[in-house]
Amino acid sequence: MSFSTRADFSTIAGWIAPNARVLDLGCGDGSLFAYLRESRGAVGYGIEIDDKGVLASISNGVNVIQSNLESGLAGFDDQSFDSVILSQTLQAMRHTEQIVLEMLRVGREAIVTFPNFGHWSHRMQVLRGRMPVSASLPYQWYNTPNIHLCTVADFDAFCAERGFRVLERVVLHEAQPVRMFPNLLGSLAIYRFRRG
Amino acid sequence: MSGDYRSAGIVRPQRASFAEALPLRCGATLPAFELVYETYGTLNADRSNAILVCHALNASHHVAGVYADQPDNEGWWDNMVGPGKPVDTDRFFVVGVNNLGSCFGSTGPSSINPATSRPWGSDFPIITVEDWVDGQARLADHLGIDCFAAIMGGSLGGMQALCWAIRYPDRVRDALVIAAAPNLSAQNIAFNEVARSAILTDPEFHGGHFYAKGVKPVRGLRVARMIGHITYISDAQMEEKFGRQLREGIKYSFEPEFQIESYLRYQAEKFAEYYDANTYLRITKALDYFDPALATGGDLTRALAPAKCRFLVISFTTDWRFSPARAREIVKALVDNQRDASYAEIVAPHGHDAFLLDAPQYHAVVRIYLARAAERAGG
């Protein structure tokens, strides 16, 4: 069985303990969950609102619960998962802060990935007076689902203000880790954090 | 119902007799009983591809196909079950069974009570979902099925699937719980009580012993069906289908003037012709009593703890009889128990009746889920 693998999958997999209980928010076609199941023996559920995603997840053998993340995680008990993942969905959420708090209520750890708005190419486009369009932000301003874009520095500040402890942070560009000036040279940020 | 679907074709009901008494939850015992059932598809050599379809209030064992002498009498879930359909009878051996207490051939109030040689009538015991499931388990034994690949049903049928998972955890690999709830709300019970009152107060009910008098409490049954029918449809759907349309204009009379009135009367008339009042009373009671969490102090999570199978839970957005919120209670209990479970909330305008219709996403979810289940089983 082969699954499409995104750049962040292997980094996330490295942060999941063997046989961990995982909740994947906005699981899409279930490919990340299936990857974690194959590579780490993860068990748990994906949550997806889109009909096609639900079908694809079932087809991939992933437990999927059709639900709107914007209404929170009411169906899940406190601290009932080892890791709660929100992969490339944070920036498209309306209740951004609320979902992060919910992730830390339900899970011992949260893993969040998002496109870095601070990447130099995005900054250049804004300087030229246009909204950025790139491989990591492949939409026009008028059709983008992304409504809460942030930079690596923004998310660092958010975690610091809320007292979240960042356990690990990896910033990628073209699937390679960026160690120098990540907020300038990285296009995809991946965080693992917990309550402080 | 697209033309490219094949049908289960000509089917034939079968009858199984059980000589061993069946203890019932109410304390009574059925001395012996018969169940009428139909099967579609072929049971494989290791008897691992059987799916049990449980029926809801007014349906029967006739799930799919037609009868040779009744070519228009299509099974009640013919759009779901058949060759190439979501419940694919080319792959699965599907069993439809008529529940105890029903009026379509299995032992029920209109059957002969061996103790009196007269129809049971009101003396037929009150049957619960658990009793149905126990009866179905006897049928499984009879068919040589130790473990069902899946047990599925909508509405009250979904409750039976849930009950199976709790009661016989080793005899079911997948439970498909569709348009169901973990128990009835006060509003649900209230609707049932209106329906029962209509029957019980019909002068032709005769305390349930109306068979000997050659009459039927059809007026009560009609009202019961009307109230039920209203709850199966969404407000929006009723508005779209009927609105305030009149048949022939306003006449300032009590004749059916609005289309909805005439529709309800037609449905009620049809239903009262073939349905048994004692059965209606008992099936609504079975619904009211269903509450697996009663034994665990209202804790559904603990009630579902014995279940081992995988679950697919499905609800419909406009179902106000068994709303998505009720289905999510089941899902939460399964998640709390760390069971393999998926949940699909189908956008459909039809209300509770949507489980009998063929919304594309609904049928696709069932099809893919069962295909996956068959793959896991190596079928």
Flag whether residue B328 sits within 8 Å of chain A, measured between CB atoms: yes
Position A4 scores a pLDDT of 42
State residue A1's pLDDT score.
30
What pLDDT, on a 0 to 100 scale, did the predictor assign at position A2?
34
Lowest mean pLDDT among A192-196, B2-6, B26-30, B256-260: B2-6
What is the share, in percent, of chain B residues with pLDDT greater than 90? 96
- At A8, the amino acid letter reads D
pLDDT tens, position by position, A113-164:
999 999 999 999 999 999 999 999 999 999 999 999 999 999 999 999 999 9
**CA distance linking residue B276 with residue B221, whole number of Å:** 8
Exposed/middle/buried for B265, CB within 10 Å: 0-12, 13-18, 19+? middle
Q: Which residues in chain A have Cβ-Cβ distances shorter than 8 Å to B341? A: 45, 63, 65
Residue B70 pLDDT = 94
Tell me what pLDDT residue A5 has: 56
pLDDT at A49 over 50: yes
- Computed over every residue of chain B, the mean pLDDT equals 96
Question: Tell me: the pLDDT tens digits for B238-274?
Answer: 999 999 999 998 999 999 999 999 999 999 999 999 9
Q: Does B336 contact chain A (CB < 8 Å)? A: yes
Of the residues B155, B174, B202, B353, only one is catalytic, namely: B155
Contact A66 B364 (CB under 8 A): no
pLDDT of residue A3: 38
DSSP for B81-126? EETTSSEETTT-EEEEEPPTT-SSSSS-TTSEETTTTEE-GGGSPP
Instruction: Mention every residue, 6+ apart, whose C-beta is less than 8 A from residue B196.
Output: B224, B280, B281, B284, B285
- Which residue of B342, B362, B372 is the best one to mutate when testing the A interface, meaning the one whose CB has the most A CBs within 10 A? B342
Q: Which residues of chain A have a CB within 8 Å of the CB of B365?
A: 54-55, 58
In a mutational test of the B interface, the residue from A43, A52, A58 whose CB has the highest number of chain B CBs within 10 Å is A58
Identify the helix (H) or strand (E) that includes residue A96: helix A96-106
* Residue B56 CB partners (closer than 8 Å, separation 6+): B153, B154, B155, B156, B157
Mean pLDDT of chain A: 95
Q: Is B235 a catalytic residue?
A: no
Q: Can you give the pLDDT at residue A67? A: 97
pLDDT at B378 over 80: no
Q: Does the predicted interface ipTM exceed a cut of 0.90?
A: yes
What are the angstrom distances between the C-alpha of B145 and each of B17, B91, B95, B135, B183? 16, 16, 11, 14, 29
Tell me, what amino acid is at A48?
E
Cite the beta strand spans of chain A per DSSP E: 21-25, 43-48, 64-66, 81-87, 107-115, 164-173, 176-177, 188-195
Shortest CA distance from B313: residue in chain A: A65
B376 interaction partners in chain A (CB closer than 8 Å):
61
Question: What confidence score (pLDDT) does residue A23 get?
Answer: 98
CB B90: neighbour CB atoms within 10 A?
A: 12
pLDDT score at B254: 92
**What is residue B6's predicted lDDT score, i.e. its pLDDT?**
76
Residue with tokens 């099974």, as numbered in its chain: B75
* Residue B3 predicted with pLDDT over 70: no
The verdict on a CB contact (< 8 Å) between B335 and A76 is yes
Mind telling me how many Å the CA of B82 is from chain A's nearest CA? 21
Catalytic (active site) residue B234? no
H or E segment and range at residue B342: strand B341-346
B55 labelled catalytic: no
With an 8 Å Cβ cutoff, are A75 and B332 in contact? yes
Interface check B347 vs A, CB under 8 A: yes
Is the Cβ of A81 closer than 8 Å to some Cβ of chain B? no
Contact B331 A75 (CB under 8 A): yes
Segment among A15-19, A72-76, B179-183 with least mean pLDDT: A72-76
Place of tokens 């059916």: B256
pLDDT, one tens digit per residue, over B149-173 is 999 999 999 999 999 999 999 999 9
Q: Which of the pair, A72 or B337, is modelled with greater confidence?
A: B337
Arithmetic mean of pLDDT, A14-31: 97
User: Could you give the 3-state DSSP secondary structure of residue B193?
Assistant: helix
Stretch among B115-124, B145-154, B324-333 having the lowest mean pLDDT: B115-124
- Between chains, do B368 and A43 touch, taking CB under 8 Å as contact? no
pLDDT at B5: 52
- Whether the per-residue pLDDT at A48 is higher than 50: the answer is yes
Contact A58 B340 (CB under 8 A): no
Tell whether A43 lies on the interface with B, counting CB pairs under 8 A.
Answer: yes
Q: Is 60 exceeded by the pLDDT of residue B359?
A: yes
At A190, list the tokens: 């991946």
What's the pLDDT at B377? 82
Q: Is the pLDDT of residue B217 over 50?
A: yes
Kindly list the residues from chain B whose CB atom is less than 8 angstroms away from the CB atom of residue A43. 338
Give yes or no for residue B182 having a pLDDT over 80: yes
B347–A51 CB contact, under 8 Å = yes
Contact of B276 with B110, CB cutoff 8 Å: yes
State how far the Cα of B168 lies from the Cα of B165, in Å rounded to an integer: 6
Query: Which letter does DSSP use for residue A169 in this model?
Result: E
